[in-house]
Structure 1
Amino acid sequence: MSTQADHGHELIPRPEHTPDALRAALAILAPRRLEEMQSTKDEAFARAVEWQSLSPVRSWVLAWARDIEIARRPDLSVRHARAKSDLEHEDPVVAQDALRELSAVLDEAMKAVRE
């Protein structure tokens, strides 16, 4: 597990950016998503072979590191869930605010995992 800035309460330490470490973290935080993780991993590795490039694997690692960052930090997790629930709100202003908030949460999580 790597070091990270203090974001308040964190459920687990930030995992290293390896498939095994990310899978272990997800098994603790959101085990129902393990099948999805494996499926997207298989797709990324197949694309990497097809394209003869590691970029699909790097993208897979970053996407899951970002999602795990959100899940391991209750502050981000609550903001993420609230924004997602308001995305299709009948009031377009609420939906627009939710989209901005969701983008902000995803950006904050991505920035954190790239530190």
Structure 2
Amino acid sequence: MRLLSAVLACGLSIGTAFAQGAAENGNSAVLRGLDKVNGQTQDLEIPVGGSAEIFGVIVSLRECRYPADNPTGDAYAYLTVRNPNDATVYFDGWMIASSPALNALDHSRYDVWVMRCTST
């Protein structure tokens, strides 16, 4: 029940921030991938509307937002993560940089999370 309350509170605060115009749209997002089997990480920048392969999954970025008053602060990115072979979708939704476990990719081998948005 606490997790549900936290998710709802976070969702309300994100929606309120966007409704008040306090968020800016980024041109791309910096993501980090982890291969849980061998412990390797990979950072990669994906433009909004683009896709890239991180280890064994394809990540598509629909949108990336960040606080207008703190560009290096908390980023929110809408990602779709899928299998490159059969297009099975593993994740489709918003990920929050400061709380990656709040809405995380559920994959047995790979993990992907948002680091930040970029505006250049």
* TM-score (structure 1 length as normaliser): 0.26
Q: Higher strand proportion, which one?
A: 2
* TM-score (structure 2 length as normaliser): 0.25
Q: Higher helix proportion, which one?
A: 1
Which entry has the higher C-alpha Rg, 1 or 2?
1
